[in-house]
Amino acid sequence: MKKIKGNLKMDELIIRELEKEDFQKGFLDTLDTLRKTSSIKEDKALEVFNQIKSNPKHIIIVAEVNGIIVGSTTLLIEPKFIHEGGIVGHIEDVVVSKEFQGKKIGNKIIKYVLELAKNHGCYKTILDCSDDVKAFYEEIGFKYHSNELRFNHI
Given a cut of 70, the residues of the chain with pLDDT beneath it are 1-11
> 82: part of which helix (H) or strand (E)?
helix 82-85
Other CB atoms within a 10 A radius of the CB of residue 27 amount to 26
- What pLDDT is attached to residue 148? 82
d(C-alpha 55, C-alpha 92), whole Å: 16
In the chain, domain spans: 10-140
- What pLDDT is attached to residue 11? 55
State which CATH number among 3.20.20.70, 3.40.50.1100, 3.40.630.30, 3.40.140.10 fits the domain covering 10-140.
3.40.630.30
pTM of the model: 0.89
